[in-house]
């Protein structure tokens, strides 16, 4: 049985130690020690006949007139059959070499692994851990509906022990996000502390929170979350209305509209087209538009000419 990836995630050295601990440990560790050696041979012994059968079916399915294709498939089939014969010989040779019973020294060496199982588990690679789990796990049951944003896992071990685990899973929507209440409360707290979106994202990431898709938060994602929860952005002027000009001399949208005698809609349009230059400290923050006196005079002149041309054309 191939263990589900969630089982690998949920299992640590303590869980493994508890579930195959004495009096279960001698049998379980013996199985692990012997089977890890047998595993590569056993996998090939099981898979190669399947591959050979697939090659035979492909050969049988080809039309007789397609001779080149038939010859190619025949060669593949023959190669797979030779591989099957070879692995059967290797497996039988290995099986004959295994002792019917363990010598006292071998048994003591195998059992000593059980006394330091956490060290064995922590030293194993990801592939080796999966091999160990294949040998000691009998059944894995998953339930994604028991708790929102979590996977509930029930592992039945070969020894008869049963362990239950709950791990966070990635979701497509924040409706199913595991820590949605905590996340919203934290965003509101940080906004209340006058933090901007990118600062909120950095704080959430530092606290170990991840987005619904399992990635670190970004300022843009925090902006979308604020819109979802109707949380207003932190403004550079607090809750007051935007002034016509900011203390640094830049203009607000309203100020630029007044200075140029145009509508605020036109200001937004010109910002989008690059005709006006401005910046926002974060999405949703007021615009700070750079306008010098010569620029204002030049733009007003262009507007008069445009309006004059429209009048003459009509």
Residue 26 has pLDDT above 50, yes or no: no
Cα dihedral across residues 135, 136, 138, 139: positive or negative: negative
Sheet holding 150-157, edge to edge: 137-143, 150-157, 162-168
Mean pLDDT of 9-21: 57
CA geometry: angle 96, 124, 87, nearest 5 deg? 30
pTM over 0.85: no
34-91 pLDDT, tens per residue?
Answer: 555 555 556 666 777 888 888 788 878 877 777 777 788 888 888 888 888 887 887 7
Tokens of 197: 């979106």
Of 117-126, 132-141, 267-276, give the lowest mean pLDDT range.
117-126
147-184 pLDDT, tens per residue?
Answer: 777 788 888 887 778 888 888 788 888 888 888 899 99
Using DSSP's 3-state secondary structure scheme, residue 129 falls into helix
Q: What is the C-alpha to C-alpha distance for residues 302 and 68, in angstroms, rounded to an integer?
A: 75
Residue 136 has pLDDT above 90, yes or no: no
Q: Round the average pLDDT of the chain to a whole number and report it.
A: 78
39-42: list long-range contacts, CB under 8 Å, 24+ apart. Answer: 39/131, 39/134, 39/135, 41/87, 41/90, 41/91, 41/94, 42/91
Q: What is the C-alpha to C-alpha distance for residues 6 and 56, in angstroms, rounded to an integer?
A: 36
Q: What is the C-alpha to C-alpha distance for residues 199 and 196, in angstroms, rounded to an integer?
A: 5
């Amino acid at each position: 049985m191939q263990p589900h990836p969630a089982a690998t995630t949920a299992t640590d050295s303590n869980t493994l130690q508890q579930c195959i601990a004495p009096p279960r440990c001698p049998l379980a560790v013996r199985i692990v020690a012997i089977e890890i050696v047998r595993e590569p041979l056993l996998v090939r012994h099981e898979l190669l006949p399947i591959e050979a059968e697939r090659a035979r079916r492909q050969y049988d399915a080809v039309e007789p007139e397609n001779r080149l294709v038939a010859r190619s498939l025949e060669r593949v089939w023959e190669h797979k059959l030779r591989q099957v014969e070879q692995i059967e010989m290797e497996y039988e040779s290995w099986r004959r070499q295994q002792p019917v019973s363990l010598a006292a020294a071998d048994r003591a060496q195998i059992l000593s692994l059980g006394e330091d199982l956490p060290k064995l588990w922590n030293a194993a690679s990801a592939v080796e851990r999966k091999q160990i789990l294949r040998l000691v796990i009998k059944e894995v049951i998953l339930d994604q509906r028991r708790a929102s944003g979590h996977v509930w896992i029930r592992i039945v071990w070969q020894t008869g022990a049963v362990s239950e685990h709950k791990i966070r899973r990635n979701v497509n929507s924040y409706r199913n996000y595991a820590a949605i209440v905590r996340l919203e409360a934290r965003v509101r707290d940080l906004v209340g502390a006058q933090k901007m979106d990118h600062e909120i994202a950095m704080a959430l990431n530092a606290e170990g929170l991840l987005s619904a898709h399992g990635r670190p938060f970004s300022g843009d994602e925090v902006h979308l979350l604020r819109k979802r929860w109707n949380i207003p952005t932190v403004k550079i002027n607090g809750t007051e209305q935007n002034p016509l000009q900011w203390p640094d001399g830049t203009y607000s949208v309203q100020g630029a509209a007044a200075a140029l005698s145009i509508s605020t809609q036109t200001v937004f349009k010109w910002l989008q087209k690059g005709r006006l230059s401005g910046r926002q400290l974060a999405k949703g923050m007021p615009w700070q538009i750079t306008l010098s006196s010569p620029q204002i005079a030049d733009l007003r002149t262009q507007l008069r000419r445009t309006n004059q041309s429209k009048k003459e054309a009509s």
